[in-house]
Chains A and B, each alone.
Chain A
């Protein structure tokens, strides 16, 4: 069935370093790949997304890359700050006309000051 694998499950970096989170999806019909940031006790917040007709998208310190052939997509955060500490979820849309998202298991990012 549909599946999204996410690695690593935990990631600790020093402030100012870069962080990379990787996801792999199984549904070749997936065409939309959002990333969410969830702070403790808060709602998931959409931080960036990419569609299958684009290979890379950047928004300030955050970038996402997509390799459709390999069914891989990644989140890159540069110049990390303590406020970047949170759980990050990747997701892939189910193929077809639907908003259904299949989520990865999450990455707990800790940015050490």
Chain B
């Protein structure tokens, strides 16, 4: 089975721009969660989707949003980028939505200048 894939792998944007990141879960997995990883804050939960519905949301500003499609692929969007948004954005795929094993993608490294 193919693993979790994320595109693009690297992205450089300037302040004020917006960005869309994509995640394709493992085949058959219906849940996708997103995490932000930074050296200072570690791994922080952004949001979680199951069957196209957002089931949970972390403590991030409204500039961070996401969605999930009927094929379970998910996108997250960050608008009005700030320097502090520079991070590795990881998505994790799981079969179900209640404390299931999660498998991470390779991440998208976002740099905001």
- Number of chain A interface residues as a range: 20 to 34
**CB distance B98 to A98 under 8 Å?**
yes
- B63 adjacent to chain A (CB < 8 Å): no
- Number of chain B interface residues as a range: 20 to 34
> Per DSSP, are chain B's interface residues mostly helix, strand or loop, or mixed?
strand
**CB distance A100 to B33 under 8 Å?**
yes
User: Which residues of chain A (54-113) have a CB below 8 Å from chain B?
Assistant: 89, 91, 93-94, 97-106
* A7–chain B nearest beta-carbon distance, Å: 14
- B75 adjacent to chain A (CB < 8 Å): no
**CB distance B45 to A43 under 8 Å?**
no
How far is it, in angstroms, between the C-alpha of A36 and the C-alpha of B107 when the chains are bound?
A: 15
Closest 6 CB pairs of A and B: A32-B99, A103-B43, A93-B99, A43-B104, A97-B98, A98-B56
User: A residues bordering B, Cβ < 8 Å?
Assistant: 31-32, 34, 36, 42-46, 49, 51, 89, 91, 93-94, 97-106
